[in-house]
Amino acid sequence: MKYYKAFNRDMTCRDFKYEEGGIYEIDEKPILCEKGFHFVKDLVLSLEYYPVSYDITENFYAEVEVLGDVVFEEPTKHKGVTNKLKIVRIIPDDEVKDIVGAENNSGEFCSGDWNSGNRNSGNSNSGDWNSGNRNSGSGNSGDRNSGYWNSGDRNSGYWNSGSGNSGNRNSGDSNSGYRNSGDSNSGDRNSGNWNSGYRNSGDSNSGNWNLCNYETGCFNTKQKKTIRVFNKKCDRDEWDKAYKPSFLYFNIDKDIGYKKSFQKSWDEAEPSDRERIKDLPNFDADVFYELSGIRL
């Protein structure tokens, strides 16, 4: 079969440079989205990975031949990866436009642009019945979804009604697990928030089957009276009543890491707020430095 691959205008894809007629090979098994040379079934499908702002010819495109082992994205088989790929030819810009079509839609009943599915009203959709933008699945009403039947945005799973979910059947937001009705859960079947375990109805549990909060164990209905603060035991009530400076609640920037993000939040805080870190139970300057890189 004829497959396609998109590139930047310098003929690079993920910092790897290709040439027309070149054959590329690795000695390992291909792994989708991780290892090997990727390609798509239809040229328009490449817009999921190489979106354009004004014209489809902002990218380069090539016909490719798969010569090695191959793994396809399931169940659509829209995208594949192989450990041996040949760049057959670079497709001229005019031919690219002809392939995509005068209206840029290769499906039916599409009112947007660059749709390869059917009944899409958004843009750059490769699935079916999408009303949002850049969906590669089917039945999505949000934006940038690669799964199916998502009504939120940026979901890569299935049947998610929230946003930013990579699992399945989540009705909250930013869940990477399955069947969560709360928010920010990385486990499965949690109805609370910020749980990394399984089947918790409380909040911030890293264990399983807990009814209470902040538990790391399993099958707990009662709250522990003590927790560890600065590596020492602390009464939970004392910790709950303590003032927590606002700079402690920071987002981790993956580009600079945990400590740099901590320090950035510290630098942006009011001096009076920074000073109150010392009022926390069991405050230990050495432990704080080890955590944050901030010497007090």
Please state the domain extents for the chain: 3-100, 246-292
Q: What is the pLDDT of residues 118-155, one digit of tens each?
A: 778 888 787 788 888 888 778 888 888 888 888 888 88
Alpha-helix runs per DSSP H in the chain: 93-100, 236-241, 257-268, 271-275, 285-292
Rg value, the chain, Cα: 25
Q: What residue has token string 């998610």?
A: 160
Q: What is the pLDDT of residues 26-50, one digit of tens each?
A: 999 999 888 999 999 888 888 878 8
pLDDT score, position 89: 96
Cβ 207 vs Cβ 197: under 8 Å: yes
pLDDT mean over 58-86 = 91
DSSP string covering 87-121? EEEEPPHHHHHHHH-TTS--SSS--SSS--SSS--
pLDDT mean over 98-109 = 68
Cβ 235 vs Cβ 226: under 8 Å: yes
DSSP 47: G
Whether omega before 75 lies within 30 degrees of 0, making that bond cis, reads: yes
